[in-house]
């Protein structure tokens, strides 16, 4: 349905509205230009403040904030564009004001929306309203078509130009904060990298394991550390402290002689398998394999001739020194089996052999645990080192001079025989001030028990032509470069074993690296805990076995003096104040020795 045709008066209003449309657009444009200039001035001022601040303090988010300011400015302009769009009434009022039309247009529009009502002079009022509309239309026709020219606010324009002029040099000139930001970025990347590394270690440790397995707990702690690294990469000192603390905790849980024990267990397992099967069926020295072989041997004891158990007992007895290295449990079981076989007690021997197999398996698990923890400690150490290196450069204090390396007491051979093998070379410390040349040439003496971290133990006196076996552990000296080096010297046989010395060479990456203790416990340059060493150029002096082992008449079998020592110890325990647990320890020691051959 077509709308009713407009009356003349309505037609006038329509013409008035139509005539105001171009002015409405022009007024809108003027407002947009005005507000746009103001927004631009504001954004430029904010950008200038940001650029200035970014030169005074490292603001990694400055580019993002600058982009956000521009986007916010555009967004504000968009919102403003919708907000400042003038209505026709506003346009009429503005045009009245600009063209001096004395409210003609605004009045015409406003009056068109009002009804005369029942006022007594409605007719004359309506007539005047019509006249007023026509007057307004004439005024609109005479109005300047170029009204509402966009006007740039001078103050905003000047502010924008000034700020832009100042921003350019602030952006072009080198910013001293860039280096700091780059270092922080590097630190963040390093933190992320080390967090991944810790996560990998945690996955390796924790997969398939649950508490109370210590590896599961360690894995949890590592994951927390990794999360902390990701969440707060800037807290370098805290992370280094936590990593150091965790590394220390892991190291403290490591059994120092674990690798010795592992080697002994491997050797024992291989020998037991060879004894049980008559062939080298277990060249790798797998304890489980050895346990199975022992089971088979135990089952076949009943079928053996009377002389064979004695021979087995003798050969088992020969393995007892190695079993002692493998642990008291293995040694006790081996001893029990040998004793039972020597006495011809097959059932007891079978039971003892089963215990021996179990002891081997448990020992292997302990070794595995130790290795996992050691590897985790090395990972943590590596993470800490990498993280320390990624931090901002700090002015460090001069390092303390390194102590001259001194050899530990070399490994000792318990019995004459084969020349002792050279000790493992010490791993050089991190660079620092060169340390004094290591002095580690004190020859080992074959007739004295070695003393290192642990005293070397001569298990048995040399017997005739048979070579004795002895293992000693030497401890390296403190090397230069602020490192704390430990050496594991091991040698067999007799000879002047020259213990390892400290060296100041760069850290080697041999395959035994994870096994041996770290050299830079005190950190590296830039690390808060770093203590620089000084001194001469150290050198590695690997130990070398010299000379043939000889029988030593000075060695007295402990069985000959056992009773005397035991009496003296018991008397001492009874007469002196000694803690109960120590008394138990001493008594246990002698009771164990008393069961030996």
Partner 1 sequence: MTQPALDQPLVTGLSPEGFADRAQLIEREIQRVIVGQDALVRQTLICLVANGHALLEGVPGLGKTMLVRTIAEVLDCTFNRIQFTPDLMPADIVGTNVLVEESGQRVFRFQPGPVFANLLLADEINRATPKTQSALLEAMQEQQVSVARERHLLSPPFFVLATQNPLEMEGTYPLPEAQLDRFLFKLWVPFPSEADLITIVERTTGSTTAHAQAVADASEIVAMQRLARSVPIAPHVTAYAVSVLAATHPDGPRAPQLVREYVRYGGSPRGAQALVLAGKINALLEGRYNVATDDIRAVALPALRHRVIRNFEGEAEGITSDAIVRAVLDAVAPPAVD
Contact residues for partner 1 (CB under 8 A)? 8-9, 27, 31, 34, 86, 90-91, 93-94, 96-97, 102-104, 106-108, 110-111, 114, 121, 123-125, 127-132, 134-136
Closest listed residue to residue 378, CA positions, set 190, 263, 242, 246: 246
Cα–Cα–Cα angle for 310, 311, 312, rounded to 5 degrees: 90
Q: Which is nearer to partner 1, 108 or 338 (CB)?
A: 108
Distances (CA, A) of 437 to 137, 145, 402, 423, 534: 108, 98, 10, 18, 11
Q: Which of 37/94 has CB closer to partner 1?
A: 94
**Is 449 in contact with 455 (CB distance < 8 Å)?**
yes
Whether the link from the prior residue into 137 is cis, omega within 30° of 0, is no
Give the separation between CA 200 and CA 208, rounded to whole angstroms: 14
Coil, strand or helix at 354: helix
Of 139 and 378, the one with the shorter C-beta distance to partner 1 is 139
Decide whether 80 or 134 has the Cβ nearer to partner 1: 134
Nearer to partner 1, 93 or 522 (CB): 93
Distances (CA, A) of 283 to 266, 312, 323, 503: 9, 20, 17, 35
Which of 12, 431 has the CB closer to partner 1? Answer: 12
- Closest distance of CB 83 from partner 1, Å: 14
3-state secondary structure 529-578: CCCCCCCCCCCCCCCCCCCCCCCCCCCCCHHHHHHHHHHHHHHHHHHCCC
| DSSP string for residues in 517-530 | PPS-TT--TT-TT-
Instruction: Select 108 or 246, whichever has its Cβ closest to partner 1.
Output: 108
Nearest Cα to 432, choosing from 312, 320, 564, 521?
Answer: 521
Please say which residue, 137 or 531, places its beta carbon nearer to partner 1.
Answer: 137
493 torsion bin: left (phi>0), alpha (psi -120 to 50), beta (else): left
Q: In whole angstroms, give the CA distance from residue 462 to residue 442.
A: 23
Toward partner 1, which CB reaches closer, 31 or 486? 31
Q: How far is the CB of 32 from partner 1 (least distance, A)?
A: 13
Q: How far apart are CA 102 and CA 194, in angstroms?
A: 77
d(CA 364, CA 263): 10
Report the nearest approach of partner 1 to the CB of residue 45 (Å). 23
- Cβ contacts of residue 163 below 8 Å, gap of 6+? 41, 44, 45, 47, 48
Q: Which residue has the tokens 């949890």?
A: 220
Q: List, in order, residues 6 or more apart from 172 with CB less than 8 Å away.
A: none
CB of 168 to partner 1, least distance (A): 33
The CB-of-121 to partner 1 minimum distance in angstroms stands at: 5
State in angstroms the smallest separation of the CB of 135 from partner 1. 6
At 146, which helix (H) or strand (E)?
A: none
CB of 143 to partner 1, least distance (A): 15
CB of 98 to partner 1, least distance (A): 9
CB of 171 to partner 1, least distance (A): 35
Cβ closer to partner 1: 30 or 261? 30
Residue 49 vs 128, nearer CB to partner 1: 128
Contact 539, 463 (CB under 8 A): no
Between 138 and 343, CB nearer to partner 1? 138
CA dist 272 → 257, 279, 280, 297, 387 (Å): 22, 10, 10, 10, 47
User: In whole angstroms, how close is the CB of 152 to partner 1 at the nearest point?
Assistant: 14
Q: Tell the smallest beta-carbon distance from residue 86 to partner 1 (Å).
A: 7
For residue 125, the minimal CB distance to partner 1 (Å) is 5
């Amino acid at each position: 349905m077509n709308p009713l045709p407009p009356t003349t008066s309505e037609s006038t209003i329509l013409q008035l509205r139509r005539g105001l449309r171009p002015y409405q657009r022009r007024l809108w444009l003027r407002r947009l230009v005005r507000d746009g200039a103001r927004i631009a001035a504001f954004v430029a001022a904010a950008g200038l403040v940001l650029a200035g601040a970014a030169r005074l303090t490292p603001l990694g988010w400055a580019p993002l904030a600058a982009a956000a300011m521009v986007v916010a400015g555009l967004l504000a302009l968009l919102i403003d564009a919708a907000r400042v769009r003038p209505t026709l009434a506003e346009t009429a009022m503005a045009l009245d004001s600009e063209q001096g039309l004395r409210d003609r247009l605004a009045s015409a529009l406003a009056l068109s929306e009002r009804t005369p009502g029942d006022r007594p002079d409605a007719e004359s009022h309506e007539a005047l309203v019509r006249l007023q509309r026509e007057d307004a239309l004439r005024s609109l026709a005479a109005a300047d078509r170029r009204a509402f020219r966009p006007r740039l606010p001078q103050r905003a324009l000047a502010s924008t130009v000034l700020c832009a002029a100042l921003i350019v040099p602030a952006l072009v000139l080198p910013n001293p904060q860039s280096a700091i930001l780059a270092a922080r970025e590097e630190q963040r990347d390093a933190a992320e990298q080390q967090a991944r590394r810790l996560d990998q270690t945690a996955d390796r440790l924790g997969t398939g394991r649950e508490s109370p397995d210590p590896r599961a707990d360690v894995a949890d702690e590592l994951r927390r550390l990794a999360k902390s690294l990701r969440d707060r990469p800037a807290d370098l000192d805290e992370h280094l402290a936590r990593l150091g603390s965790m590394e220390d905790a892991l190291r403290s849980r490591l059994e120092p002689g674990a690798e010795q024990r592992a080697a002994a267990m491997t050797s024992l397992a291989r020998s037991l398998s060879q004894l049980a099967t008559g062939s080298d069926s277990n060249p790798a020295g797998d304890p489980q394999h050895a346990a199975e072989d022992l089971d088979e041997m135990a089952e076949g004891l009943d079928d053996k001739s009377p002389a064979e158990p004695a021979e087995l007992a003798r050969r088992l007895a020969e393995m007892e020194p190695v079993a002692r290295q493998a642990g008291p449990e293995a040694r006790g079981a081996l001893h029990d089996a040998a004793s039972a076989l020597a006495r011809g007690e097959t059932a007891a021997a079978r039971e003892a052999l089963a215990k021996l197999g179990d002891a081997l398996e448990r020992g292997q698990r302990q070794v595995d645990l130790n290795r996992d923890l050691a590897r985790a400690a090395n990972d943590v150490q590596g993470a800490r080192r990498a993280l320390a290196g990624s931090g901002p450069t700090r002015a460090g204090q001069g390092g303390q001079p390194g102590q001259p390396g001194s050899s530990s007491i070399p490994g000792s051979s318990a019995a004459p025989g084969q020349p002792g093998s050279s000790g493992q070379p010490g791993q050089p410390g991190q660079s620092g001030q060169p340390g004094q040349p290591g002095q580690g040439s004190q020859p080992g003496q074959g007739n004295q028990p070695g003393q290192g971290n642990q005293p070397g133990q001569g298990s048995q006196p040399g017997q005739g032509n048979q070579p004795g076996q002895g293992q000693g552990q030497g401890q390296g000296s403190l090397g230069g470069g602020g490192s704390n080096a430990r050496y594991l010297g091991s040698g067999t046989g007799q000879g002047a074993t020259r213990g390892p010395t400290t060296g100041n060479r760069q850290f080697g990456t041999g395959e035994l690296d994870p096994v041996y203790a770290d050299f830079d416990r005190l950190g590296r340059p830039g690390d808060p805990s770093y203590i620089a060493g000084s001194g001469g150029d150290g050198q590695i002096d690997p130990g070398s076995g010299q000379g043939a082992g000889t029988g030593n008449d000075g060695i007295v079998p402990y069985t000959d003096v056992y009773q005397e020592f035991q009496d003296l110890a018991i008397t001492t325990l009874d007469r002196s104040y000694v803690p109960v647990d120590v008394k138990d320890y001493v008594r246990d020691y002698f009771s164990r020795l008393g069961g030996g051959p």
